[in-house]
Structure 1
Amino acid sequence: MHIRNLALASALALASMPLHAEHHGEAAADEAVVADAGRWITLGTRAGPVPSSTRSQPANLLIAGGKNILVDVGDGSAGQLIKVGLPTNRLDAVFITHLHFDHTAGLAGILGLRLQTNAPDGLLVYGPPGTADLVDGLLASMVPGNTAGYGVAGAATRDLAGMVEVVELRDHASLQYAGMTISARNNTHYSFAPDSGLAERFESLSYRFDLPGRSIVYTGDTGPSTAVEELAQGADLLVAEMMDVDETIRLLRRDAPNMPEPVLMGMESHLRDHHLLPRDVGEMAGRAGVGAVVVTHFSGRERGDPVHFEYLRQIAENFDGPVVIANDLDTF
């Protein structure tokens, strides 16, 4: 069966092929060279920044062209990788959509673990403007541990600067990597004041991965965006964020009871303007003419709750293709 049909069939069944370490172990890593349509694994599917006991923070693994590529790197990414049999020292590249901590916090752990396991130099880290500053700060935080090492007299320390190569990307960027074309667009997750100068300093990116066998678009965090719709035109698979704002605010009130009300209201405004509601996902998918939708960066009720089916109904108002709300470690 063609890989696109496999993805559609999985979505139609509201299921996919989770890889669990207890069943697959290191065998999963041995399958890194796959068909030229690649494999997309949703390592972490929870919208941040509130931690969840059932879902990890945003992160995805794209296995394609013989490369292991992280797309966003939320807290806990290293642990999620090993659940699919992939140690951190076998990563080849990381793509970051934007610099919010729920999408970047796992990079510190990955770099530190790669240091301690003597991983090869030259991990490629692609991201929006500011990514170099982020990585420089993380490397600086590793200096004490690198200097102390294992406390063995005469042991050499490692050149931290050689561990990572950073490439910053902006709107309309395009590059060739591992036999695919990767394109980026600036989305609507940020809306800086016109006179702040911040729009020139920071961008929030969505990515399109055009593999030989299929095309995958990952929205990252965004509100409704014509740029993302253009990026996603005709894609086989749209991996889209989706927020239940009312549920998110309820959780924030529960978990951060001391948050001032004006701050909470500002956050609610941000969530409604800078993220996708279920109807927004359907409208984007329908206008872009994509083949199937995978919902991730999920904030809402889980399967079995009647509200969960309401999400799918609202998406289906404008998109008649298959849709699945992904769980951690699902594969498409």
Structure 2
Amino acid sequence: MSDTLTILGSKGGPAIRPGGPNPTSMLLSLAGRQIVIDCGLGVTRGLVETGLSLKQLDLIFITHLHSDHVLELGPLLHTAWTTGLASPVHLYGPAGTRQVWQGFLASLDYDIRTRIEDEGRPDLSSLVKIIEYGEGPVFSEAGLTVIALRVDHPPVTECFALRFSDGLKTVVLSADTAFFPPLADFAAGADLLVHEAMLPEGVESIIARTGNGARLREHLHASHTLAADAGRIAAEAGVRTLVLNHLIPADDPAFSEEDWRRALAPVWNGPLVIARDGLSVAL
């Protein structure tokens, strides 16, 4: 598979609606590795639709533990196991990732024990190697390096942007974050910057649909980045291509791709991709 980033889930937040996109997950093909990044609802089906065999699961990175990034982590690994996974999967995530995995194992204990005894499967828990990471170098193997930067996503403190590089190509993911100027240095010269984005006029639409009024409005503005500010980060970093992802809103018919492009026009004149589920971007 050529070097690509495939968006499996493009919406911000955990809610899903008829015909709408899935929460956050991505597949990065780089340095000969197939790297799953975040595991929101729908990641398993999304991976299968790319043609990837779940038995090939190798590397998983979780940026933070909000449900729209981790809800389907356990089900993905379990489904891969029932598909025939027999080699280790290395799971990198922030502090608390091990607890999430152990909680899933406990919830499916009956099924897992039954399948091991009745179907002769290997022990699922022993197949998943968990590495909890913090800011700084995270991974280096066979030319692939991964570096993490703690970003600003209150109230979550363990949330990390990730920089993937094979020495020739570099992909940077912002994770969920408020406008965070240090990301420009972190993403400097990247071939691809995948940055979360929010339309201010879309916030009120979300509040009207989901409720929780002032409290939700306060959270969104304190914890996420306006589309224009994502463009400012990309311009300062000098990246080749900007991908807007984790879109807020992503499933409101009142807003189209043109709204996102219009928001970016004053600050970013480079290649711009508006994420949608199933979209692949060549590196």
TM over 0.5: yes
Aligned to 2:141: 177
Aligned to 2:237: 288
Aligned to 1:247: 202
Aligned to 1:207: 162
Question: Which amino acid counterpart does residue 60 of structure 1 have in structure 2?
Answer: M
SS at match of 1:79: helix
**Conserved? CA contact 1:68–1:92, under 8 Å:** yes
Within the alignment, does 1:227 sit opposite 2:179 as a pair?
no
Question: Which amino acid counterpart does residue 181 of structure 1 have in structure 2?
Answer: T
Query: 1:171/1:151 Cα in 2 relative to 1: closer, same or farther (>3 Å)?
Result: closer
**Conserved? CA contact 1:125–1:165, under 8 Å:** yes
CA distance in 1, matches of 2:275, 2:59: 23
The C-alpha deviation readout for 1:170-229, integer Å capped at 9, x for no partner, is 11234213422111000001257xxxxxxxxx4100001112331110111111113322
Aligned partner of 2:129 among 165, 170, 174: 165
Aligned partner of 1:297 among 240, 246, 263: 246
> Following TM superposition, by how much is the alpha carbon of 1:158 offset from its aligned partner in structure 2, in angstroms?
3.7
SS at match of 1:216: strand
1:1-332 matched pairs, under 5 angstroms: 31=1, 34=2, 38-52=3-17, 53-149=19-115, 152=118, 156=120, 158-191=122-155, 202-254=157-209, 256=210, 259=211, 261=212, 264-300=213-249, 308-332=257-281
Kindly report the root-mean-square deviation, in angstroms, between the aligned alpha carbons of the 2 structures. Answer: 2.3
CA distance in 2, matches of 1:313, 1:166: 42
Query: 1:242/1:136 Cα in 2 relative to 1: closer, same or farther (>3 Å)?
Result: same
SS at match of 1:206: strand
> Following TM superposition, by how much is the alpha carbon of 1:66 offset from its aligned partner in structure 2, in angstroms?
2.2
SS at match of 2:136: coil
> Following TM superposition, by how much is the alpha carbon of 1:63 offset from its aligned partner in structure 2, in angstroms?
1.2
Sequence identity of aligned pairs in percent? 29
Question: Which amino acid counterpart does residue 143 of structure 1 have in structure 2?
Answer: D
Question: Which amino acid counterpart does residue 95 of structure 1 have in structure 2?
Answer: F
**Conserved? CA contact 2:11–2:249, under 8 Å:** no
Question: Which amino acid counterpart does residue 274 of structure 2 have in structure 1?
Answer: I
CA distance in 1, matches of 2:91, 2:16: 25
Q: Tell me the number of residue pairs that the alignment of Structure 1 and Structure 2 aligns.
A: 280
CA distance in 2, matches of 1:238, 1:214: 12
Query: 1:47/1:74 Cα in 2 relative to 1: closer, same or farther (>3 Å)?
Result: same
CA distance in 1, matches of 2:103, 2:194: 30
Q: Select between 70-79 and 112-121 the one with higher mean Cα deviation.
A: 112-121
Give the TM-score of the pair, scaled to structure 2.
0.90
CA distance in 2, matches of 1:167, 1:227: 25
> Following TM superposition, by how much is the alpha carbon of 1:240 offset from its aligned partner in structure 2, in angstroms?
0.9
CA distance in 2, matches of 1:60, 1:301: 16
**Conserved? CA contact 1:74–1:106, under 8 Å:** yes
Q: Select between 241-250 and 275-284 the one with higher mean Cα deviation.
A: 241-250
Question: Which amino acid counterpart does residue 316 of structure 1 have in structure 2?
Answer: A
> Following TM superposition, by how much is the alpha carbon of 1:136 offset from its aligned partner in structure 2, in angstroms?
1.5
SS at match of 1:173: strand
> Following TM superposition, by how much is the alpha carbon of 1:328 offset from its aligned partner in structure 2, in angstroms?
1.1
> Following TM superposition, by how much is the alpha carbon of 1:288 offset from its aligned partner in structure 2, in angstroms?
1.2
> Following TM superposition, by how much is the alpha carbon of 1:313 offset from its aligned partner in structure 2, in angstroms?
2.5
Query: 1:277/1:179 Cα in 2 relative to 1: closer, same or farther (>3 Å)?
Result: same
CA distance in 1, matches of 2:151, 2:222: 12
The C-alpha deviation readout for 1:40-84, integer Å capped at 9, x for no partner, is 111111112121323121110011222211011111111011111
Higher-Rg member (1/2): 1
CA distance in 2, matches of 1:287, 1:266: 32
